[in-house]
């Protein structure tokens, strides 16, 4: 069944729905009609208050003013994630958005650092990372330099509900129609099974050519109607619940997320302008809901300002994220716990992928198959990166951590770990969301010490190598003298 796409119906609001509407309305031919159906009576799950750098490209494409955006969403800047207690209790490391040292032809910087360590260098890899240096001192600024060694890559922490409201206002100005109401019937074409319309409780029928399912975990269209199936990844990522609660803001707003490992999971702390976001992700077979609640409430850094909310989930992905004339976006497409702040990015990438493959003259199966192939690869790669954090641990204090260390992991991840362990080499898979610097920081932080380094690092004399390391350190530390604190930046830039 081939029919030109003239109307897109988005089922569900929240970040997934309004981000889908904003990108499609901005990038696809303005003749395309977009209607979003949502009900104020149905709450949204705000799992993504922390983001990763590609969101800045999204905002630029939409033409969003950064200062206005920060003010409207109560946002703060994010340079990194600090992982605490993951390898062993009492230890921590940063996964920053930056890269240590400087780019070298044919040989990454960490091989030179590894050789320098064998010559007596005491500095850690992170001491050559500008993001780390700024995060550690609580500083931030826009650094205007053409030298890539001084690039300060960043993302945001923000209030997900305020972000969705911000995008809604943005969309409605562009002409996106919002319809309030609950859907109680989905009508399919008798022969093709394509969705023809959704019918609201008040009897109103909303027809469309392409439907975007942003209905959350239930997957009203993609699963309940079309039965697209779900690949359960609980055997690799067994955490299946989270409890979340906001708390009062701290005196100092740190420019990074904290991820603190506990007995059967981990706790996030996300600093916003007006509060902190807190949550405890855990495995219910190793920790009761009451225990998880107690762990969270006893480890808050400030007084709670709301009631804790319990969220149940199953880690995995929809087998077909595009089925017939329905594309699943957000939680309806799958769920990967927010350990590396990928939730909102997966919404962004799903819609960008749809833009690339938009069926303007009708739905072609080759388009659908390509979309699903790319989605599968993306989810698999992020899954492996998350497993890495859990599997590489040396904790013996609970059965949960022992199980994670002893479990069988995907061969793709096993190969990457072993290659790094033996040779220090890291090769990024095509379109992998995470750069070599990300894999490097987590593998080092979780305890893999490479046995070797690349022979190119031997092409420099010992004296010149150590002098180069010293020069890079001086360059990386120089901006810190001029940078203001993170809070001072927000006050000045946003006019707070």
Enzyme catalytic residues: 78
Helix (H) or strand (E) holding 414: helix 411-423
The distance from CA 265 to its chain's CA centroid, rounded to whole angstroms, is 18
- Tokens 């390898």, located at residue: 87
Strands (DSSP E) along 216-354, which ranges?
Answer: 230-232, 241-248, 256-262, 265-271, 275-282, 309-312, 316-318, 322-323, 326-328, 334-335
The distance from CA 428 to its chain's CA centroid, rounded to whole angstroms, is 18
Name the β-bridge partners of 92.
84
Residue 335's nearest CA partner among 443, 240, 223 is 240
d(CA 420, CA 441): 12
d(CA 323, CA 343): 21
Residue 1's nearest CA partner among 193, 211, 228, 224 is 193
Helix (H) or strand (E) holding 280: strand 275-282
- Assess contact for 154 and 256: CB atoms under 8 A: no
Handedness of CA 135, 136, 139, 142 (dihedral sign): negative
Residue 493's nearest CA partner among 156, 147, 248 is 156
- Assess contact for 49 and 272: CB atoms under 8 A: yes
- Assess contact for 67 and 494: CB atoms under 8 A: yes
Name the β-bridge partners of 155.
78
d(CA 210, CA 208): 6
């Amino acid at each position: 069944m081939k029919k030109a796409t003239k109307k897109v119906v988005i089922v569900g609001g929240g970040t997934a729905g309004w981000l889908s509407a904003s990108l499609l309305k901005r990038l696809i031919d303005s003749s395309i009609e977009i209607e979003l159906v949502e009900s104020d009576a149905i709450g949204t799950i705000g799992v993504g208050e922390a983001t990763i750098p590609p969101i800045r490209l999204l905002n630029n494409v939409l033409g969003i003013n950064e200062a206005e955006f920060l003010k409207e969403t109560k946002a703060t800047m994010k340079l990194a994630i600090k992982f605490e207690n993951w390898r062993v209790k009492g230890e921590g490391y940063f996964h920053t958005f930056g890269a240590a040292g400087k780019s070298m032809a044919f040989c990454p910087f960490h091989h030179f650092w590894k050789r320098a360590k064998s010559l007596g260098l005491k500095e850690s890899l992170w001491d050559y990372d500008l993001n780390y240096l700024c995060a550690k001192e609580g500083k931030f600024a826009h650094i205007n330099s053409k030298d890539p060694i001084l690039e300060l890559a960043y993302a945001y922490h923000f209030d997900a509900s305020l972000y969705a409201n911000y995008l809604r206002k943005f969309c409605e100005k562009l002409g996106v129609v919002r319809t309030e109401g609950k859907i109680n019937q989905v009508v399919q074409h008798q022969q093709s099974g394509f969705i023809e319309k959704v019918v609201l409780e008040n009897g109103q029928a909303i027809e469309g050519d392409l439907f975007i399912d942003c209905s959350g975990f239930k997957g009203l269209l993609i699963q309940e109607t079309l039965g697209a199936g779900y690949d359960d990844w609980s055997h690799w990522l067994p955490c299946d619940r989270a409890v979340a609660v906001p708390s009062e803001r701290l005196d100092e707003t740190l420019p990074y997320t904290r991820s603190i490992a506990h007995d059967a999971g981990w706790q996030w702390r996300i600093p916003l302008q007006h509060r902190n976001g807190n949550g405890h992700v855990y495995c219910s077979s190793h920790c009761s809901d009451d225990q998880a609640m107690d762990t969270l409430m006893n480890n808050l850094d400030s007084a709670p300002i709301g009631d804790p909310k319990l969220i149940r989930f199953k880690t995995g992905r929809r087998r077909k994220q595009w089925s017939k004339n329905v594309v699943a976006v957000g939680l309806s497409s799958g769920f990967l716990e927010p350990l590396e702040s990928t939730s909102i990015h997966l919404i962004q990438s799903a819609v960008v992928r749809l833009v690339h493959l938009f069926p303007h003259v009708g739905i072609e199966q080759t388009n659908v198959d390509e979309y699903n192939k790319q989605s599968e690869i993306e989810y698999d790669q992020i899954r492996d990166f998350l497993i890495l954090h859990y599997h590489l641990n040396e904790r013996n204090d609970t059965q949960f951590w022992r199980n994670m260390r002893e479990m069988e992991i995907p061969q793709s991840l096993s190969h990457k770990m072993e290659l790094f362990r033996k040779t220090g080499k890291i090769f990024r898979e095509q379109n992998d969301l995470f750069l070599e610097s990300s894999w490097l920081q987590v593998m080092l932080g979780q305890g893999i010490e490479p046995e070797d380094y690349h022979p190119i690092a031997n092409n420099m004399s010992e004296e010149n190598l150590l002098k180069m390391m010293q020069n890079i350190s001086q360059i990386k530390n120089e901006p810190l003298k001029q940078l203001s604190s993170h809070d001072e930046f927000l006050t000045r830039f946003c006019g707070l």
